[in-house]
Amino acid sequence: MPPGLLTLLHLQFKGLLRRTLLSLRTLRGIIFSSIGLLLFVFWALPSVLSLRHGRTDPALVRTFTPIILLVVCVISLITSGGDKAVAFTPAEVGFLFPGPFTRRQLLGYKLIKSFVGAAASGAFLSLLFLRHCASWPAAFVGLLLSMMFAQLFAMTVMLVGQGVGERLYTRGRKLIVGAIIAAVGVTAWPHLKHGMPENPTDLAAQLRNSPAGRILLLPLEPFGRTMTAPTAVQILQWSSLAAVVDLVLLLVVMWLDVNYLEAAVTGSQKLYDRIQRARRGGVAAIAAPKAGRLRLPAFPWLAGAGPTGWRQLTSALRSSRGMLFLLFILAISVGPLLVAARNQAQAAGLVLGLAAWTTVIMAGTMRFDFRGDLDQMDLLKSLPLPPAAVAAGELFAPVLIMTFAHEALIVAAAFRLRSHREILLAGAALSPLFNLLLFALENLLFLYFPTRIGPASPGDFQNFGRQIVMFLLKFILMALAGGVAAAAAMLTWFLTRSLPLTIAAAAAVLLIESLCLIPLMAIAYDRFDPSTDTPT
């Protein structure tokens, strides 16, 4: 490894430490970091205490770990085509690619960086996963080797793809993925055709012990075995085997010596662009927007809210193909899941779980509102639009999309949950107002405490602490607002025993709460100073 690359690694590590320590020089930094650290300790404590009792059955870990790694491999194969490449940061492309380094040296640099990152992540994750492992060393070593396996496998398939040519590679990986899915499907079908099994562990064990499973999972066995190895000698034995698997992949990567630089330049730039889009619009905006045939008609003026609403909805529809596709899949797949559920209670649980997941995940990832307009605040504030109109317009797209997700879920559930249809109808009626309240609150808090989505590094307790504090604040405020609406609904029901009036009472409270937040949003937006309030 040339000294220049070692120097760079050393300087980058030093820079990361410095950034972490700098954040502790402000009171807010200390508070958020302390909260983050405290929460991490609370999160890890049960796992650490489980060393004495309450540990997961090692057989479960040995069963599931290879299957999880196999799924990771299949995902790598599926997603490795097209413009995927070994990713370097723009600065690395600019300095290292024209620099006096060979391709292998740059790969070595990349892998060392990945190893250090995996070691840091492994140190934290090993505490969280301790209950599933025999000891901390077993957890750490097993996780580290597993993460390196995932990285090396992804790198290998990318380099093989670039080496053999796109057409041949695409055909090859389709064959391999198809063969794996067919093997899993043939093994699993006899157990699935009568409905979902009570215990998925049995299904996993069947897969693992099938002839196809044994062949596919054999090289992945040492990773789970390492994590559950009860003695130091066994940790050493199994980790050595796992390390051999990693080493084989490393040797393949180095031996190939594919000229990946050109693909890496393009791929890295696209990855960088995706990260920048995600920092602006959340995970939902990662895909590059494409105009396509989609052209929304112009919205009516609506006191100035129309243009903003049109812009955000157009951006959402053009940038979030992946998210919208996921929503569509969710909506049509919930039906078979509900059919497969054994009883109404299980079905109701599925619906509630899915609704909660969509709301929590999508509210945070779908930032087609002020949160995604952080870099356009200069432009927004220069427009001749009243702040309240801008605030209302910014809420249109996320509320509409989230409501669509909820309604699709509810409609799908209504076919199955016959005895719960009235509750589902109430949910359908209240969903738009609930979402309006949710996103109004999200945006109000954002305007007062603007943040950017950034890459998290292990040990970034300040970022973790800040996210937890904001999440708790949102949760408390939503709970309060929702509580008032629920109280009004309960009172109305008690007095009238009429479902429509009960729903109307809850809706009225939610509407009043939402309408009160919009002027607050307008004030916060009006006060927002892009020169000082925009985070880096």
Report yes or no: 515 and 437 within 8 Å, Cβ to Cβ. Answer: no
Report yes or no: 261 and 97 within 8 Å, Cβ to Cβ. Answer: yes
Max CA separation in the chain (angstroms): 81
Least distance CB 95 / other proteins (angstroms): 7
DSSP string, 64-79: HHHHHHHHHHHHHHHH
Q: Which is nearer to other proteins, 56 or 89 (CB)?
A: 89
Q: Which is nearer to other proteins, 107 or 397 (CB)?
A: 107
Q: Look at phi and psi of residue 114 and say left if phi exceeds 0, alpha if psi is from -120 to 50, else beta.
A: alpha
Report yes or no: 400 and 323 within 8 Å, Cβ to Cβ. Answer: no
Q: Which of 126, 156, 128 is nearest to 141 (CA)?
A: 126
Q: Using CA atoms, how far apart are residues 220 and 214, in angstroms rounded to an integer?
A: 10
Q: Which is nearer to other proteins, 94 or 519 (CB)?
A: 94
Q: Which is nearer to other proteins, 19 or 28 (CB)?
A: 19
Least distance CB 90 / other proteins (angstroms): 4
Least distance CB 127 / other proteins (angstroms): 26
Least distance CB 112 / other proteins (angstroms): 15
Q: Position of tokens 């393949």?
A: 252
Q: Which is nearer to other proteins, 8 or 243 (CB)?
A: 8
Q: Which is nearer to other proteins, 99 or 386 (CB)?
A: 99
Q: Which is nearer to other proteins, 268 or 314 (CB)?
A: 268
Q: Using CA atoms, how far apart are residues 488 and 493, in angstroms rounded to an integer?
A: 9
Least distance CB 9 / other proteins (angstroms): 10
Name the H helices within 449-498: 461-496
Q: Which is nearer to other proteins, 169 or 525 (CB)?
A: 169
Least distance CB 14 / other proteins (angstroms): 8
- Contact footprint for other proteins (CB under 8 A): 2-8, 11-12, 14-16, 18-19, 89-91, 93-102, 259, 261-262, 265, 536
Q: Which of 43, 10, 338 is nearest to 196 (CA)?
A: 338
Q: Which is nearer to other proteins, 98 or 190 (CB)?
A: 98
Least distance CB 516 / other proteins (angstroms): 39
Least distance CB 290 / other proteins (angstroms): 20
Least distance CB 530 / other proteins (angstroms): 16
3-state secondary structure of 197: coil
Q: Using CA atoms, how far apart are residues 431 and 434, in angstroms rounded to an integer?
A: 5
Phi, psi of 102 (to 5 degrees): -80, 165
- The secondary structure element, H or E, covering residue 390 is helix 387-414
247-260: b (≥16 Cβ within 10 Å) or e: eebbeebeebebeb
Number of C-beta neighbours around residue 322 at 10 A: 13
Least distance CB 98 / other proteins (angstroms): 4
Q: Which is nearer to other proteins, 26 or 259 (CB)?
A: 259
Q: Using CA atoms, how far apart are residues 369 and 395, in angstroms rounded to an integer?
A: 6
| Torsion angle, alpha carbons of 276, 308, 526, 385, to 10 | 140
Q: Which is nearer to other proteins, 94 or 200 (CB)?
A: 94
Cα distances (Å, whole numbers) of residue 405 to 54, 334, 359, 428, 432: 38, 12, 9, 11, 11
Q: Position of tokens 């492309």?
A: 93
Least distance CB 113 / other proteins (angstroms): 12
